[in-house]
Chain A
Amino acid sequence: MFMNTRSNFDESLKELKSMQLKMAGEAETAIKNAMLALLNQDIELAHSVINGDNVIDDLEYEIHEKALMLIARQSPVAKDLRRLHVALRVSSEVERLGDIAVNIAKSAVHIGNEKHVKELIDIPHMMEIALEMLTDAITAFYSEDSAMAQKCAEKDDQVDKMFGELVQELLTYIPQNPDFTNQIIQLAFVCRFIERMADHSTNIAENVVYLETGKRYNLNA
């Protein structure tokens, strides 16, 4: 009696998911490249990140088109409906991650080849944690695993704390290094971008929990 009567729909849902994973992969690569561009002062790489963002924007558009088409034609309910709702939301979060990569790359361009005011250690460390969160969020999304999503969100506090401390520290450099004011402000921006990146990963994780349970969770509270 229980047989699958909606194989076409299920096939489309699978395609949609693989598009989402592709998009997330693109955003993750863009962020890593933006960070490399900043650390290595690789202006060419920074420009390639900036110019490559349209790929992510296009994927978001395609995902929205496909999800809306499925909503219109398949009249999904319950978890199917949540899955499509989540596809729309998560792809918007990932699109914002792409923008963050662009912002970091732009800061790299603004700093250019100017010698760094100090060796960059804490910023890459903060980025490492934010990237772990992103990987956890995407894995949780892939395997629809609420426990993994929870794990991702727990790291957000750590990133917030580092952000506060780092910005305080950066500001103390300005009086002693007034010629580096622009660079220091750009680095403070980068901290802010990484902090936002962690928030977007947390939002993705919250959507995974919503997909599984049908309830809104604020994992960030």
Chain B
Amino acid sequence: MVTAIKERITLDVTAQEYREFQPEHILTVKNLEIFYGEKRAVNGISMDIGKNNVTALIGPSGCGKSTFLRSINRMNDLIPGARAEGEILYEDLNILSDDINVVALRKEIGMVFQKPNPFPKSIYENITHALKFAGMKKKSVLDEIVEESLQKAALWDEVKDRLHKSALSLSGGQQQRLCIARTIAMKPTVILLDEPSSALDPISNAKVEDLIVDLKKDYSIIIVTHNMQQASRISDKTAFFLSGDLIEYDDTEKIFTNPSVQKTEEYISGRFG
């Protein structure tokens, strides 16, 4: 961040011009390999992740999507025996290097899981918990962040009168949007979503999808999904993984209308399983 500002000052350009100058990629993955013990789950992939884009990761079960996603905010660190090689560049930092402050990284790169996992606390506390932990105590500030994150997660209108009720009293779809709000509250730049709406009914799913598309104004989003229609509806880029390899990565429109690789075509049109 500091380097970015320094660069802007030395370049002597306006903030607007600088934004246009900015690289269009938020993350650059170089020769990423991920192992569980001896077993390699991701086989040396390279890709750029677009800024303010929705990037969808698709592929059959076990192909390494979640493994890849978790490596982006170092969640694999929690798995004994897991290790990664190669680089994931964020700004000019290698996320994988040992001297990264993982807690700070996870604030910048937030994650939402398949099953909504709110804490068994109030809606309000679900959002403020991590903020308080980070030393933010002032009620007026917390109130403001709670409202802003719930607004952004398109949940505010549904819960504004019951902020101090248990989060577990919400529907599955509301709980998932609460988890997204909780991530947003940390003011991340990247949001990782691992099958965020696979457990939701079609209406809740549609709300989460609308939300994701809306959020890309402010965040860069990477989403794992098994729902091909979802990938084609909401993403800008789609990456197809197979057995730990990145088979094809292109504009979503291209992938779903005229993919370049036969295996991609067979997978997206449901012709192998």
In the complex, which of the residues B232, B272, B273 contacts A77, with contact meaning CB atoms closer than 8 Å?
B232
**A-side interface mostly:** loop
Q: Is the CB of B272 within 8 A of A78?
A: no
Chain A residues with CB below 8 A from B7, complex form = none
Answer whether residue B148 sits at the interface, using C-beta atoms and an 8 A cutoff.
no
Q: Is the CB of A214 within 8 A of B269?
A: no
Q: Which residue of B lies closest to A85 (CB)?
A: B257
* Stretch touching chain B among A3-11, A36-44, A110-118, A190-198: A3-11
Interface string of A1-28 (1 = CB under 8 A from B): 1111110010000000000000000000
Q: Is the CB of A4 within 8 A of B271?
A: yes
* Chain A nearest Cβ from B227, distance in angstroms: 10
- In angstroms, Cα B270 to Cα A24, docked, is 30
Q: Is the CB of A5 within 8 A of B257?
A: no
Q: Is the CB of A78 within 8 A of B273?
A: no
Q: How large is the interface on A (under 10, 10 to 19, 20 to 34, 35 or more residues)?
A: 10 to 19
Q: Is the CB of B271 within 8 A of A77?
A: no
Residue tally, chain B, CB below 8 Å to A: 15
Scoring B257, B265, B269, B273 by chain A CB atoms within 10 A of each residue's CB, the highest score goes to B269
- In angstroms, Cα B258 to Cα A169, docked, is 48
Near A by CB (< 8 A), chain B positions 237-273 give 256-259, 265-266, 268-273
Answer whether residue A164 sits at the interface, using C-beta atoms and an 8 A cutoff.
no
- In angstroms, Cα B58 to Cα A77, docked, is 14
Q: Is the CB of A77 within 8 A of B256?
A: yes
- In angstroms, Cα B273 to Cα A6, docked, is 10
Q: Which residue of A lies closest to B260 (CB)?
A: A214
Answer whether residue B229 sits at the interface, using C-beta atoms and an 8 A cutoff.
yes
Q: Which residue of B lies closest to A78 (CB)?
A: B265
Q: Is the CB of B257 within 8 A of A81?
A: yes
Q: Is the CB of A5 within 8 A of B273?
A: yes
Chain B residues with CB below 8 A from A2, complex form = 266, 271-272
In the complex, which of the residues B258, B266, B273 contacts A214, with contact meaning CB atoms closer than 8 Å?
B258
Q: Is the CB of B271 within 8 A of A6?
A: yes
Interface residues of B (CB under 8 A from A): 228-229, 232, 256-259, 265-266, 268-273
